[in-house]
Amino acid sequence: MIQAREALALLQEGNRRFVSDISSRDPITGRARRLELASGQAPFATILGCSDSRVPVEIVFDQGLGDLFVIRVGGNIVAPSLIGSVEFAAEQFGTRLVVVLGHTQCGVIGATIEQLQRPAENQSRNLHSIVELVRPSVEALMATELRYDHDALVHQAVRANIRASVRHLRRGSDIIEQMIQKDGLMVVGAEYSLETGLVDFFDGLPETGV
Ligand SMILES: [Zn+2]
């Protein structure tokens, strides 16, 4: 089993390779690896990321088959079925690191800001359910001076939404809460930059660092 800190270091190294255009893709997605994994998996991290086509999780962390347990949903929100997926990986595969991965210029954050500024009555019920989960993070920021600076507002709202998802994951499940206390499970938040390709692990890292 790979412990949380070690898993975090693997992701950081992988992201550095991605940013430097050094990819290890062939050995990690090849036939031999596929056959090796057919009998079982032990992903070393669970990633709850946004569905945005520009943030494919395995690619930005330079990981291959069997490495990551990935959940992707618009706005990297936390809903019951997504918590269930995180619990599943932690219980079944011993995955000890959970990363909420948001990204700069997230469209769901933009849509939520727009919805708060100019409510559209014809918004689909399903999309509305996502916006409703993002809303509290954005609303608090819109009550400040940030409402006059759209770019700064989006930037801060992306991070606030990641932090909210981290909090929600930590407290929304007895199983996860117990694993944090007893088994060294770690839930952290990170932001991927569409511009630089870098992942900034800005939320929930232990003070000693990795
Ligand atoms: Zn997004």
Contact in structure between 89 and 115 (CB atoms under 8 Å): no
Distance 65 CA to ligand 1 centre (A): 24
Three-state secondary structure along 76-130? HCCCHHHHHHHHHHHHHHCCCEEEEEEECCCHHHHHHHHHHHCCCCCCCHHHHHH
Examine the pLDDT at 210 and tell me if it is beyond 60: no
Distance 144 CA to ligand 1 centre (A): 23
Give the tens place of pLDDT for each residue, 141-196: 999 999 999 999 999 999 999 999 999 999 999 999 999 999 999 999 999 999 99
Distance 76 CA to ligand 1 centre (A): 7
Give the tens place of pLDDT for each residue, 4-25: 999 999 999 999 999 998 877 6
Distance 109 CA to ligand 1 centre (A): 7
- Entry pTM: 0.94
Distance 110 CA to ligand 1 centre (A): 9
Distance 103 CA to ligand 1 centre (A): 6
Distance 152 CA to ligand 1 centre (A): 16
Distance 33 CA to ligand 1 centre (A): 30
